[in-house]
Amino acid sequence: TILTRSISTCLARKSQISSARLSTATLAHPNAPLDIHPEVQEALATNKPVVALETTLVTHGFPYPTNYSLASDLEKIVRSTGSVPATIGIIGGRVKIGLERSELEWLADRANNPSVVKVSRRDIAPTIGAQMDGGTTCSATLIFAALAGIKVFATGGLGGVHRGGQDSMDISADLFELTRCPVGLVSSGIKSILDIGRTLEYLETLGVPVVTYGKTRDFPSFFTRLSGFQVGKFLLTSLREAYLIIQVPWNVDSPSTAAKLLHTQWQLDMDNGILIAAPIPEEHEKIGSSIQQAVDQAVRESEENGMSKRGKEVTPWLLSRIVKLTRGESLNSNVALLKNTALIGGQIAVEYQKILS
């Protein structure tokens, strides 16, 4: 009991420290170029569930004005679960954790600022130094969520190992960032343009837990629910049952199980994130396979025309090419899977907060 008491004192102290970090005034560097929206600040200070949302999908993923309405809808969905949304981006060289409508509109309408930066970890300080605007990728969003003490982040597709990545070494910074940010990231897996098998191998090497969410044991394939890759060995919801079913991957089937997993990870001081992969809702499954053909075509084209060697431009180019090839159909699916992860993210954040209180 002495041991457990000292662990709980330690944890209590840790949570005090992290809640003390919540307002900008008490950040380790109080003059850092970072603003936490008052609503988010209040939520964090009073232990309300908060869900981080990224803005690369606004600045480089979707066209205007769909991107603006989508981002607002995602915030609404998070709210409907009882969580507070914190959409993260960079405006005029300041990091914003939680955006005003006008700020979101500013980032969304690229006519305002055609030079808006796609910001991953390496781009943060230069973007701020140049006082520019930026949409944060998963990697940058993870960093700022962790800094603010936000434990759940919902997005569509995580970056990963690109096809041919074993030669080009094009591996998204998103993967490594999950090793240093204690955040549960809910996504529909990784983007369809990537190499799923190698991405899972890489995440395994990095020690990032990967779990599927819901009924399927298959790692989702973004536009479709199945990829043929299973991610682990047994079922988390019932260990006993798990031993009876051989070859079933790690899987959680409820917000509370997912929250418990996050809690356990951090209770043991493993300060890395967890990838929670929620497949696209079933009604979008059918169209998914035809979209996947367009994906494969776009990837082939990018190899032929040299786009695949253009660093961070590759992903936005492929995504817009897929929109053209599918006459916009891929956007509908992308919206659907994003709304789904926002909902699940909100629910998990609520359950996580329940465990803490």
Residues binding ligand PSU (CB under 6 A): 54, 56-57, 60-61, 137-138, 156-157, 159, 172-174, 191, 312, 315, 319, 334
- Burial class of 293 by CB neighbour count within 10 A (0 to 12, 13 to 18, 19+): exposed
Smaller CB separation from Mn ion, 177 or 329 = 177
Cα–Cα distance measured from residue 140 to residue 120, given in angstroms and rounded to the nearest whole number: 5
Q: Say whether 118 is catalytic.
A: no
Least distance CB 80 / ligand PSU (angstroms): 22
81 binds, among Mn ion, ligand PSU, none (CB under 5 to 8 A by kind): none
Cβ count within 10 A of residue 87: 27
Helices 101-108 and 66-80, interaxial angle, to 10°?
A: 140
* 91: three-class secondary structure by DSSP: strand
Q: Which does 217 bind (CB under 5 to 8 A by kind): ligand PSU, Mn ion, none?
A: none
Among 191, 329, 339, 351, the one annotated catalytic:
191
Q: How far is the CB of 47 from ligand PSU (least distance, A)?
A: 28
The residue (of 103 and 351) whose beta carbon lies closer to ligand PSU is 103
Measure the CA–CA gap between 248 and 217, rounded to whole angstroms: 7
User: In 3-state terms, what secondary structure has residue 70?
Assistant: helix
> Minimum CB separation from ligand PSU for residue 5, in Å?
42
Q: Residue 286 catalytic?
A: no
CB atoms near residue 255 (< 10 Å): 24
Min CB(207)–ligand PSU separation in Å:
20
User: Which residue has the CB atom at the shortest distance from ligand PSU?
Assistant: 61
**Residue among 149, 347, 173 at smallest CA distance from 266:** 149
Helices (H), 118-277: 124-129, 138-148, 165-168, 173-177, 196-206, 239-244, 255-267
Do 306 and 318 contact (CB within 8 A), yes or no? no
Judging by DSSP bridges, how do beta strands 152-154 and 134-136 pair with one another?
unpaired
Whole-angstrom distance, CA of residue 205 vs CA of residue 325: 35
Helix (H, G, I), strand (E, B) or coil at 64: coil
> In the complex with ligand PSU, which residue's Cβ is closer, 211 or 331?
331
Closer to Mn ion at the Cβ: 138 or 278?
A: 138
Residue 54 binds: one of Mn ion, ligand PSU, none (C-beta under 5 to 8 A by kind): ligand PSU
Is position 133 an interface residue for Mn ion (rule: CB under 5 A)?
no
Cβ-based nearer residue to ligand PSU, 60 or 163: 60
Which residue matches tokens 């996504």? 187
- Which among Mn ion, ligand PSU, none contacts residue 96 (Cβ within 5 to 8 A by kind)? none
CA pseudo-torsion sign 309, 315, 317, 321 = positive
Using CB under 5 A, pick the residue from 170, 174, 195, 218 that binds Mn ion: 170
Smallest gap from residue 345 Cβ to Mn ion (A) = 24
Q: How far is the CB of 171 from Mn ion (least distance, A)?
A: 7
- Of 32-40, 141-149, 165-173, 252-260, the window that binds Mn ion (rule: CB under 5 A) is 165-173
> Given 54, 177, 329, 351, which residue is catalytic?
54
Q: Which is nearer to ligand PSU, 185 or 350 (CB)?
A: 185
Catalytic residue numbers, as ranges: 54, 191
Binding residues for Mn ion, rule: CB under 5 A, are: 170
